[in-house]
A and B are shown apart, each in its own frame.
Chain A
């Protein structure tokens, strides 16, 4: 597709809805897990109903205390974090946090993480019973927990096994979140698709670290952490591009999105939706600003339906 030359667009009838593996989002802008809490934290700043989807902080079977501080270091145009999946556990999430989201008109996607394949299956079975859960995002790629996360994400076969365990435990849409810390993200994506995933999201953070040259010691309590923010965007765009080309599943793209232009770049690379992460910290209204900018771009470029843009950079 070549760029339209500002053709006639009915501004009041812009089509923004996208479909991500069985989840209908009223617009393509979601929140990235772990950067938006459970939604309530940002309710004073934006109308949550305007979001395409809310992806909540990673949930595990048992409560997790998280890593020792410091948990965050700023790096050049980015941040390294090592939160360590601090969360109240699935039961408290279902009892105390999920009900608060019932009043909102938006799909709630729950990010899940486990130590074992069985953990993922159990989490999926438990959350699968909840009406308020629109879908699951399977975190096979968090670099911040020693036992879980990364070991699943790094091996394509293990990633497929986790996907199968989740799929067989629930009928809800399953989005598998991919790690960039692998030799071939395409190889993992293909295996996960073969195992029945309904959609993919990418990228999780890049494994990194920072050292304090005064104390001569690592800064993070966990020594290593995950890099995100503007610094990682080209890596993420590349991942979306490659996976879109190789695998037919819908993709939620993320990694360093700050502006609408950043988001549109991901959509052109093949993302059916985008998620805003660290940018929320700087601008609590980042999701809304990105959405407004996408609409503006559509109007200026004669795009009536956002779906026309998905993967449009693949000529």
Chain B
């Protein structure tokens, strides 16, 4: 008898449901929001944050990238396209004539940054890259350098004697064959 009365009471007071909703009810009563009111509020980023990619320069303003294509090879989602060439007027010196990143595909894995032999790539803390037209995420060299310029104001010092073969070049090239054709 007593047993059935207890169960009858539980039924009419929806006791089981209350037990199930205990957590919900607790939150309802002690409300403390964890959602950040972005864009009014922003998170502090951890030091190892991997954000927008950028191309870097040396302290004298020259591009660090030597156009070696290794970032292109390292990238798992084929974001990068490097078109390397000889620096005009500096025979046998290599640079990236064109450099593209298709950021719509980037995983922000940082493998390209690891691959770069001259530390010419950096990951900035920029993440606000929403655009209306995703074609705007296809970035060229100038855009990537500009990102680097604004994110890394302190630049690495250019090594002395870095381009010795040019310094020692003793005969001017008369006519270089055009590269296309």
Chains A and B belong together in one complex: no
